[in-house]
Amino acid sequence: MDIRENLSRIGEELEKELHDLDALQALENLKVRVLGKKGSLTALLRGMGQLSPEERPKAGQLINEAREKMTRLLEDKQKELAEREKEARLKKEAIDVTEPRDLPLIGCVHPMNLVLNQVLDCFTSMGFDVAEGPEVELDHYNFELLNIPKNHPARDAQDTFYIDDNTVLRTHTSPVQARTMLSRKPPIRIVCPGRVFRADEVDATHSPVFHQIEGLVIDKDVTMGDLKGTLDAFAKRLYGPDIEVRFRPSFFPFTEPSAEVDLTCFNCHGKGCRVCKGTGWIEVLGCGMVNPKVLSMCGIDPDVYSGFAFGIGLERITMLRYGIQDMRLLYEGDLRFLRQFR
Ligand code: PHE
């Protein structure tokens, strides 16, 4: 019977094509070609009209069975292909979170900021506040309230950049002492980091722009012992318990008595070398008991209150901390230098 032959031909072709098929769209096309309105199987159904009434039921049964089988085959293939395509997509979209990649270039904290942060941590943990003041400063705060009147020889020690007769680039952070005493009531405990300016040469240990951290404590019964203890704690916190601290008598118009403080040289550890000019010590700060004259000029009664002040050179203590022998490295922004502090 020719319907049988046709059916098995269509069935074989379908199975062969299904076997080679690997995309859902192609499957859809095949389905249309066989089962669609103009499909080969549909054509067979239509052809049934030419059969005799006796042949028709049998033929119809055969065609329907074939149709069901083909539909099942197509559906199975469809499931298989859909599964395969999903797997391929998941594979393609998968992200290996462990794969190493190029990190974007991120900066690092400058060594002076590293040290500054440590210094501020140290003093704030002792109860100090952080204060700030202007870089362009009035002569009044930079000098006069600090007991350095006009034409006083102490002005020569700080080669000043003048903006006009009454305005300077601050030569130290000490004007913040005066500003703080005028604006706050004791007890006062502040540290003030900032940029300062002096008409200096540029060399391995000097720059016309550098940084200081001012400290000021005013209260009843503050003594030189408190000053020494505070600075000793500071030195040990930054450099460890083995660092030695040396106080040398000195002079500043705004402190009395005054001292300069040295720490053991980072390079030779006290033996004496080029860095410390053979002394074994490196000067890092000036300090003293606030001059009673400064207290009264700033509105604090020296009969009731006393206090101490210090001015730390940030470049110096940074160089000491990391064994940096040339201050200019701190300003040049050379990445080979800076990256060492990552
Ligand atoms: N201002 C002084 C200087 O720049 C340092 C200092 C600060 C000294 C506070 C005593 C007290 O040299």
162-221 pLDDT, tens per residue? Answer: 999 899 999 999 999 999 999 999 999 999 999 999 998 888 888 999 999 999 999 999
Question: Could you give the CA distance from residue 291 to residue 48 in angstroms, rounded to a whole number?
Answer: 123
Do 72 and 205 lie in one domain? The reply is no
* pLDDT confidence bin for 103, thresholds 50/70/90: confident
Check whether residue 30 and residue 126 sit in a common domain.
no
Domain that holds residue 335: 111-341
Cis peptide before 175 (omega within 30 of 0): no
Q: Is the model's pLDDT at 293 over the cut of 60?
A: yes
Ligand 1 centre distance from Cα of residue 181 (Å): 16
Average pLDDT over residues 312-341: 93
- Taking the C-alpha atoms of residue 70 and residue 64, their distance in angstroms, rounded to an integer, is 10
Which of ligand 1's atoms lies nearest the C-alpha of 216?
A: 9
- Clarify whether residues 212 and 160 are in a common domain: yes
pLDDT one-digit tens code per residue, 16-69: 888 888 888 888 888 888 888 888 888 888 888 888 888 888 888 888 888 898
Domain match, 242 and 270 both: yes
Among residues 36, 64, 92, the one where a domain terminates is 92
Q: Are residues 279 and 143 in the same domain?
A: yes
CATH of the domain at 128: 3.30.930.10
The answer on 304 and 248 residing in a single domain is yes
Whether residue 153 has pLDDT greater than 80: no
Measured in angstroms, how far is the CA atom of residue 197 from the centroid of ligand 1? 13
Best CA proximity match to 14, nearest among 83, 67, 88 = 67
Cα separation, 125 vs 148, whole angstroms = 33
Domain assignment present for residue 99? The answer is no
Residues 214 and 150 both lie in one domain: yes
Which string of DSSP letters, residue by residue, matches 175-191?
HHHHHHHHHSPSSEEEE
Is 106 inside any structural domain? no
309 lines ligand 1 (CB under 6 A): yes
Contact 66, 39 (CB under 8 A): no
Q: Is the pTM of this model over 0.95?
A: no
Structural domain total, the chain: 2
Does residue 255 have its Cβ closer than 6 Å to ligand 1?
yes
Q: Average pLDDT of 118-125? A: 97
